[in-house]
Amino acid sequence: MDSQDKQILDLIQSGFPLTPRPYAEVGRELGLTEAEVLARVRSLRQRGVIRRVGAN
């Protein structure tokens, strides 16, 4: 897990954006594309770092 993965986790845990395209919003904050964020989240899920992403 690199620093960008950690930043993504921090943003998701501290307040996942409730917008039509939340991963695009996360990407904007980190200087990544929506596709890059989605690929990283997918990888984190496959490695068991993330179990689920959802709003409470």
Number of domains in the chain: 1
Question: First vs last Cα of the chain: how many Å apart?
Answer: 26
Task: Give the CA distances from residue 52 to residues 31, 44, 48, in Å, rounded to whole numbers and listed in that order.
Answer: 24, 10, 10
Q: 55 falls in which pLDDT band (50, 70, 90)?
A: low
Tens-place pLDDT, residues 37-53: 999 999 999 999 998 87
| Residue 53 counted as domain residue | no
| Residue 52 counted as domain residue | no
Give residue 12's domain range.
Answer: 3-46
| Residue 38 counted as domain residue | yes
Mean pLDDT calculated for residue range 1-26 = 92
Mean pLDDT calculated for residue range 15-19 = 86
Percent of the chain with pLDDT over 90: 75
| Residue 13 counted as domain residue | yes
